[in-house]
Structure 1
């Protein structure tokens, strides 16, 4: 793979100075309502690093299939598209979760108040319906710890409300390699009932060999305003992914020879995944008076999965091996309750919240021989369950006009249980239990320097248990790795939010995260990953966001992140090699930059255009730092047109990503035992979209 010049931050300083000295006289930038502390407030006043991506940005970013399309404009979060729908996206917040070879770890996902992260800490981004999303919020920093286990950060997605005037929306997206997405949405208001029902169908042949995928999605939200004090929201989500091939990672030599190929075993064993999930949730919001409210939620769901791994047959047939086909039949549910009350305190007031979260998950895990894509003999059979309970209290104190403070405490307990039903003379009883507990405090203070400038500091403790997937395999022997421990961390953050003018806003955050007993990848091969605990790690960095509306026609956005993630002490890897203190933690980008210049000319009503710059630093591929990806700078172009014809609104979009056709690595598989670390990204890509909306 060709190497490219290294990006430095010197040009950024000059560019930032130019931006901050820009002209005034444009329209005022709107503030965004967010929920950093579980209560809605303006993002400028939230004492935390939190950014929201709105509906317009989500729609302009692509076909609305993956979070990676739109979240590159948020600092502190990295969402990498593996070009592999069998393994989902690689999502990490301030480096937390980067170890994951599939699924989401180290971050909490919440959709319309319902967790999309399981009680063990593993989430799935693929089940999120982006065509019906109104906004996506990303919370980083100590306040995220109040959301519980594995909350290195929080990603919340909010489905749009139906408009007062009912409408029917049809959408079509097309792209290279057979990509297509068809959508239909009905939304509106009828008396006290607000509704949104969205269905979509997505298909792709895949950019790489053996990476074709199909998805069908239904997302529905029904909100009933029972009275002025009571609101009931019902959320239903159905997700079906009957096809998703897994091309597996490539060695550097394979990638340089042909980045679109799949390794031989991926096609030989028909590596891939079939997934189906159904979920129903209910959220009740009730005001008890002018100063008190209660929120209650309950949800339940089922997830079925068949996963064919590319493990050689001779490895699968070993007496203690688990086979090459994983079948999961999972049921999960949860309840939540929060009471909030506002009380006078001195010259100000305190918003006090007390809450309880309880979640459970049970799954039937089976393993079978993968006989060249055909399911063979049973090799594993167990019943797994996990229960998670969290109790939290939080107080937000508006002391006076100059100061405000926040204090919170959350107590968590997560308990795992495995009941083995596959016991033979060569395969012992692997039943067992493991439990983890932690009490995590959060403290913060905000100095309101003026109506346009806030300075805040937060500190908090968090913890992260292993997920059932991370407990699934031991380095030697059969059964789960119940000896794997949880990690603990201390998060500190200093931030500044300032409105430079009515048309410009600047957010800056400095953070440091110190972790103990870090969960790391011990080995990964053929879709089977084994985990272990390392020692101490540290992560520190800077995040800068600047947004400006220069004139009614021109606006810009800049989001910069730097991240230094290292092992703070040496440890011995599973292969016997010593990982030195100071080595970079693999899978983590050391810097990212998103810059956008958008144009909406008055003379061309309905037209918008934008040029995007996306810079990504390097990632190391393993704990020993034996190889790394190259830094890369990409340019994207997007154009949009909108027309109104009677009751119809038509919108057309054109995107060209990676305009200069750069070759680069999309993501890496950390510590892969076969050195197949690399998941290449495509070159120049185009995308077309058409949306037609009829208002009744």
Structure 2
């Protein structure tokens, strides 16, 4: 994957050693209504689910060097998580369901669909109180992160994904602003030999219900796919109900030899997402299901409607050169009721009404050749431009209804970038990789609501950075790779963080971008069905953005220096007790197990004064980050149709504030799952069920970092279940 789109290249030779789109919404609802009538194509008799999956989910990645290669050979810490609806015993609604077993990644389902997931990579992104910060998101080559660095994970279509890649470490910096890590979701190409389809439904605790349909077909020149799904829940806590609808379409064409055109359209509608707000520690211990009074008084929550279209073109120029281009655009409408009135003259209001348009384009070139010694050499370079424009209004929240205007402005952000990268195997056992990216980000505010109580917040700021990366890989053995990388990156403040100046006067466009220096050393070993990976990393950041003050709903931010993130990642996966007779695969494993452990030491190197005017001591831990995280899973196939599994998730204590006075205690939970796959004639079916938090443990699943009212904690659900059925006919 490159910034200009997806490249389909040969694997590198292994060296030794609210209602703005009514027509679309009606189409989505209609598709969901006929989910049970989906008619997929039949597979050849005798093909097992495991064999079909292995044939379509190769262990390849594209994020590190922007060309397809084996995950084992990638010169960086990277994971590729396969997603197959006919083997995944989970609803496939949130990224937290598939990324929990990736070392270095902290992803927490807050059970709050008004605020999205909390997603952090190696401690980058922990400060975000809503959305995703510090981590770049992509879906099929199209950015899901805006130019100012704020992203949304909720629009990813996991129900129809084929894999999710997570790139960690210095090489993520080549993706530009806020690239503490890169998460990319890939959907499968349409079939080239007929028609396929799938229908699914499921239900679970707390009023969960899901249904969906996926249809696809084509030939070797033209293919298309369409999927639609819905998910709804009453919520674990009071005032936390949500409803979601999503429609995705994709067309892949090969009009000429060496040319591939991929077009996509995505529609996401969330007409209901209540926000129960955070709880104090005492409130969470007394009744974890409760919502605080302001949540119901002001009807806190939001509605979202987003539509996006994009096209990616890949063209092969002869045998060595290729071009890739990307063009996309979209709109997003958000209406959010916050948990306060915002009636004060100096406030920006307790209701946010945002109307966004965004888009971008990119072009990249790659050359795959060999040196005089016949060893591989890959060059790539590219340009990209992304922009967004927000019409943002704020109103008084009169107990859940819209009141007087308190904010009216137009916010803009643009991101221009250029990169160059190489991958040079200069010796059969040695590989040198490197690159550089130049980025320019511009933020602008045009304030249209100016009076004696509301000063003019207009202004603009520009941020520039050059991010070099250099790495070395030693192919010590056919089964062992050792690598080391160094790099530098940056992260600009978001439009939200520059909105208000100190003392409530003007904007805060003088806020600086954070810069970081990163390094890592890692090993990768694999033999047979066993795979082991480990990495040590160290990142020093300067001008980190943290809160300075909060007044009448206006949070002001400041820069602090000396933030350090260092740690250890360890990942292992293996298979035991081989099966025999799996067609085309030579067998599988009756027992498969995995382990992911992360030790993260993230702390402030310098002291500073926080939003409450209190001194934060040097050495305090970065809030939102656990020192120890562990994920383990075990799958057992006692018989070919049946799979049983268990999962362990554990985190150590997580501080909620910069002072380190409030914390969510450590916890460990066990989940159980089961799946049963069988056929009725040409129909493949998969019945699954799961029990999460088997022991019903009470714990605080996430924290709201530096929450201004002291309500830092979001309790996780107790014991809950989900049962689902998926069919491919």
Calculate the TM-score normalised by the size of structure 2: 0.89
Q: Quick one: which of 578, 595, 600 aligns to 1:563? A: 600
Q: How much has 1:474 moved relative to structure 2?
A: 3.7
Q: Map 1:182-193 to 2 at 5 A.
A: 182-193=211-222
Distance apart, 1:472 and its partner CA: 2.7
Q: Distance in 1 between matches of 2:73 and 2:466?
A: 27
Separation of aligned partners in 2, 1:118 and 1:379: 25
User: What is the CA–CA distance in structure 1 between the aligned matches of 2:386 and 2:538, rounded to whole Å?
Assistant: 30
- Where 1:462 maps in the other structure, the secondary structure is strand
- Conservation of the 8 A alpha-carbon contact between 1:159 and 1:221: no
Cα shift at 1:222: 1.1
1:229-286 Cα offsets, whole Å, 9 max, x none, are 0000001100000110010000011111111111101110000011100000000000
- What root-mean-square deviation, in Å, do the aligned CA atoms of Structure 1 and Structure 2 show? 1.7
From 685, 702, 718, the counterpart of 1:650:
685
Q: In the alignment, which residue of structure 1 is the partner of 2:3?
A: none
Structure-2 residue corresponding to 1:329: 355
Determine if the alignment matches structure 1 residue 621 to structure 2 residue 656: yes
Q: 1:512·1:538 contact (CA, 8 Å) conserved in 2?
A: yes
Q: Secondary structure at the match of 1:398?
A: strand
| Aligned position for 1:292 | 321
1:600 and 1:528 map into 2 onto residues whose CA distance is 55
Question: Of residues 477, 481, 487 in structure 1, which corresponds to 2:504?
Answer: 477
Q: Distance in 2 between matches of 1:518 and 1:669?
A: 18
Query: Equivalent residue for 2:230?
Result: 201
Deviations 1:369-427 (A, max 9, x none): 11101101111101111110000000110112110001100000000111111112332
Residue 534 of structure 2 is matched in structure 1 by 508
- Alignment CA distance shift 1:248-1:478 (3 Å): farther
The 5 Å alignment of 1:56-71 reads: 56=84, 60-71=88-99
Cα 1:302–1:673 shift into 2, 3 Å: same
Q: Provide, for residues 119-171 of structure 1, a one-character-per-residue CA deviation record: whole Å limited to 9, x for no partner.
A: 11110001111101000000000000000000000000001223334122110
Contact 1:58–1:64 (CA<8 Å) still a contact in 2? no
Cα contact 1:523–1:671 (8 A) shared by 2: no
Please point out which of 572, 575, 582 is paired with 2:612.
Answer: 575
Deviation for aligned residue 1:656:
0.5
Cα distance, 1:41 vs structure 2: 0.6
Offset of residue 479 of structure 1: 4.8
In the alignment, the residues of structure 2 paired with residue 288 and residue 191 of structure 1 have an alpha-carbon distance, to the nearest angstrom, of 20
Counterpart Cα distance in 2 of 1:672 and 1:475 = 18
* Per-residue deviation, 1:483: 2.2
Q: Distance in 2 between matches of 1:479 and 1:365?
A: 16
2:68 to 31, 36, 40: 40
Residue 515 of structure 2 aligns to a residue whose secondary structure is strand
1:441-495 superposed Cα distances (whole Å, 9 cap, x missing partner): 0000011101111100000000000111222334531553222211000110001
Partner of 2:43: none
Decide which of 338, 357, 378 is 1:309's aligned counterpart: 338
Aligned counterpart, 2:173: 145
1:127-146 map, 5 Å = 127-146=155-174
Q: TM-score if structure 1 supplies the norm length? A: 0.93
1:266 pairs with one of 295, 311, 331: 295
- Aligned position for 2:519: 492
Q: Report the 3-state secondary structure (helix = DSSP H, G, I; strand = E; otherwise coil) of the residue aligned with 1:151.
A: coil
Contact 2:89 2:688 in 1 (8 A): no
Corresponding residue of 1:106:
134
What is the aligned partner in structure 2 of residue 593 from structure 1?
A: 630
- The aligned residue for residue 280 of structure 1 is 309
* Pairs aligned (count): 662
Distance 1:66 1:523, change over 3 A: farther
Counterparts of 1:308 and 1:605 in 2: how far apart (Å)?
51
Q: CA deviation at 1:224?
A: 0.6
Instruction: Give me the whole-angstrom Cα distance separating, in 1, the residues matched to 2:572 and 2:559.
Output: 38
Question: For residues 202 and 507 of structure 2, what CA distance do their matches in structure 1 show?
Answer: 43
Q: Which moves more between the two structures, 139-148 or 604-613?
A: 604-613
Residue of structure 1 equivalent to 2:20: none
1:272–1:478 CA distance, 2 compared to 1 (3 A): farther
Matches within 5 A, 1:33-432: 33-35=60-62, 36-56=64-84, 60-163=88-191, 164-311=193-340, 313=341, 316-347=342-373, 348-432=375-459
Q: Any gaps of 5 or more consecutive residues in structure 2?
A: 1-50, 579-589
* Cα distance in structure 2, aligned partners of 1:561 and 1:176: 31
CA contact (8 A) 1:111 1:128 kept: yes
Match of 2:583 in 1: none
Distance 1:631 1:510 in 2: 23
Q: Give the secondary structure class of the aligned counterpart of 2:174.
A: helix
1:525: Cα distance to partner? 8.7
Cα deviation for residue 343 of structure 1 reads 3.5
Over 3 Å counting, the alpha-carbon distance change for 1:546 and 1:524 in structure 2 is: farther
Structure 1, 680-689 or 339-348: larger mean CA deviation: 339-348
Distance in 1 separating the partners of 2:494 and 2:306: 19
Change (3 A) 1:60 1:529: farther
Distance apart, 1:627 and its partner CA: 1.9
SS at match of 2:620: coil
- What residue number does 1:668 align with? 703
